[in-house]
Structure 1
Amino acid sequence: MKGATVTLYNRPPEVQNFIEVTLALMAELAATPEAKAALAGIRDGVKRVDPQTPRSPGRQPACAHLGAALAHAAQTPQLAPLCAALEAAEPHLEWTGEERNGLASGSYAEITLLGPGGHEERRDVWLGLSLLAPHVRYPDHNHAPEEVYLALSEGDFWRETSGWFTPGTGGTFYNQPSVRHAMRSGEAPLLAIWALRRV
């Protein structure tokens, strides 16, 4: 039909639900105008579905800590629906390991749903999550897109403009483009979601 919008690609429904639940919650919890604006752009961007990259769903050794991290996060009522959505989506997702970050085996795992090297290869918006085993420091890094984090656990984050800080479970924060930043876990694993937008 002339003028109709045709969707050529589809995300698994569980993955689509996780994306929607995650970004809605991040937008609700965003504490600064910069974070709110970034998330508005990201939520608009994910309405377009790009080709899905064939992946092999599965876990990495660090995922031994996922159950404990999710159990902790789910104790925060606001995070419980997100945790349930992640548990439903996770069998469709591939965790990648620490080899590209130079970390010890079993110390780190991540999922890139949207973005470079992700389930949905794209450059405009990125969405994923990181899991650190206890007592792990993720290396300093930076990237051109602006970024919003949602912490699903305790843990510390570092930004070159402000030093180390602890957002707490359910805390969000914004990283401006190209700022150097890092994160580290303490006695418990660290689980965090990141959403990025190229500006």
Structure 2
Amino acid sequence: MIFLSNGDGPAGYTAREAARTNYANINARAPRSAGSPATLGRRACTVPQRLVMAMDIRSHSRPREIQDFIDAARVLFAAETLSKEARTLAIQVFALLERPGAFRYETRERFPACDWLDQALEPHLSASDPFGQVARSIKALEPYIGWSRRMTVANASENFLEGHANGTICGPGGTEERSDLQLGFTIMKPDVRYPDHGHPPEEAYVLMTAGQFRKDRGPWLSPGIGCGIHNIPGAIHAVRSDDNPFLALWCLKV
């Protein structure tokens, strides 16, 4: 089954505020050493010392743009607006990412839905929080992202094939090639329905835009930006966009 986060928390406590709070709390607990970087890329937010050290250690083996994406995505997947199951899976995925994979800095084939990426990212680009860092990292990596499309169209909208693209940052065919996990995102243009589908790996999502999900061919639900879903292995699920482009991050342990 799919778990859809209900956004539990104090009244008016948004997912973006939860991510900022989580980011600040981690940073406040982390000790700092003299001369350590205090920012993540071009961001105004501080980064936890343990992540700074990880970036320093891997500075010669993992490109900064990929590490920036990983560090910001890690915070979003740790937000309390996600279910415990989603956060637990994310911990396992990001632990695997402590070991870099191989890098493929080469121009990739783009699909028509990629033209909607800028519009989906634009609301976050100037934000000094993890949403903003994810958006800027995707922009920096866009020419090298490993793009793919699902070719099965049963139960999908007629515009599905041309209206969606999956961008793998880390994983098989990704900018960072590896076989133990998948970390990336899905972009869809407005009014696209992704087909009902399932797969063996467990997965978690975080929404960067509005969008709808459903489980077991049930009713459509709207978790909200910064919230997410958790899919157990084999769960049948689907997503769809409204009259705006859809963008959601996902992580899977293969």
Instruction: Give yes or no for TM over 0.5.
Output: yes
Residues 147 and 196, structure 1, Cα contact 8 Å, conserved in 2: yes
Q: Which residue of 2 aligns with 1:82?
A: 134
Answer yes or no: is the 8 Å Cα contact 2:186–2:249 preserved in 1: yes
**Normalising to structure 2: TM-score of the pair?**
0.66
Letter in 1 for 2:64: P
**1:134, CA displacement in angstroms?**
0.8
Mapped contact 1:73–1:153 kept (Cα < 8 A)? no
The alignment status of 1:24 with 2:75, answered yes or no, reads: yes
Distance 1:177 1:76, change over 3 A: farther
Give 1:167's match in structure 2, choosing from 223, 235, 244. 223
SS at match of 1:138: coil
Taking the aligned partners of 1:43 and 1:89, their CA distance within structure 2 comes to 19
Q: Which residue of 2 aligns with 1:48?
A: 99
Paired letter, 1:197? K
Which amino acid in 2 is paired with 1:92? Y
Residues 82-137 of structure 1, C-alpha deviations (whole Å, 9 max, x = no match)? 212222222332433x3634465531112112223333443322111111111111
Q: Which whole-Å CA distance do the structure 2 matches of 1:101 and 1:41 have between them?
A: 29
Indicate conservation of the 8 Å contact 1:133/1:185, yes or no.
Answer: yes
Quick check: 1:12 aligned with 2:68? Answer: no
Query: Which letter maps to 1:174?
Result: H
Q: 1:76 to 1:172 in 2, by over 3 A?
A: farther
Give yes or no for the alignment of 1:112 onto 2:186: no
Which deviates the most, 163-172 or 142-151? 163-172
Which letter maps to 2:252?
A: L
> Where does the alignment leave 5 or more consecutive residues of structure 2 unmatched?
1-56, 154-158
Change beyond 3 A, Cα 1:66–1:82 = same
1:150 matched to 2:202? The reply is no
Larger Rg: 2
- In structure 2, the CA distance between the partners of 1:77 and 1:12, relative to structure 1 (3 Å rule), is closer
Q: Distance in 2 between matches of 1:180 and 1:73?
A: 30
CA-to-aligned-CA distance 1:163-185 (integer Å, 9 cap, x gap): 42111112122111111111111
Cα distance change, pair 44–153 in 1 and its aligned pair in 2 (3 A): same
Q: Could you tell me which amino acid in structure 2 is paired with residue 27 of structure 1?
A: A
Moved more, 166-175 or 182-191: 166-175
**Residue identity opposite 2:101 in structure 1:** D
Asked if 1:71 corresponds to 2:122, the answer is: yes
What amino acid is the match of 2:210?
Answer: E
Is the aligned partner of 1:196 residue 2:252? yes
Distance across 2 between alignment mates of 1:156 and 1:76: 24
What is the TM-score with the length of structure 1 in the denominator? 0.82
**CA separation in 2, counterparts of 1:36 and 1:137?**
26
Q: Across the two proteins, how many residue pairs are aligned to each other?
A: 191
User: Does 1:91 pair with 2:147?
Assistant: no
Letter in 2 for 1:86: I
- Kept after mapping to 2: 8 A contact 1:154/1:169: yes
Matched to 2:77, the amino acid is M
Asked whether 1:176 is paired with 2:232, we answer yes
Verify the 8 A CA contact 2:107 2:143 in the aligned structure 1.
Answer: no
Query: How far apart are residue 146 of structure 1 and its match?
Result: 1.2
Matching residue of 2:113: 62
Residue identity over aligned pairs, in percent, reads 33
Higher strand share: 1
Instruction: State the SS of the aligned residue for 1:111.
Output: strand
Q: 1:161 to 1:101 in 2, by over 3 A?
A: closer
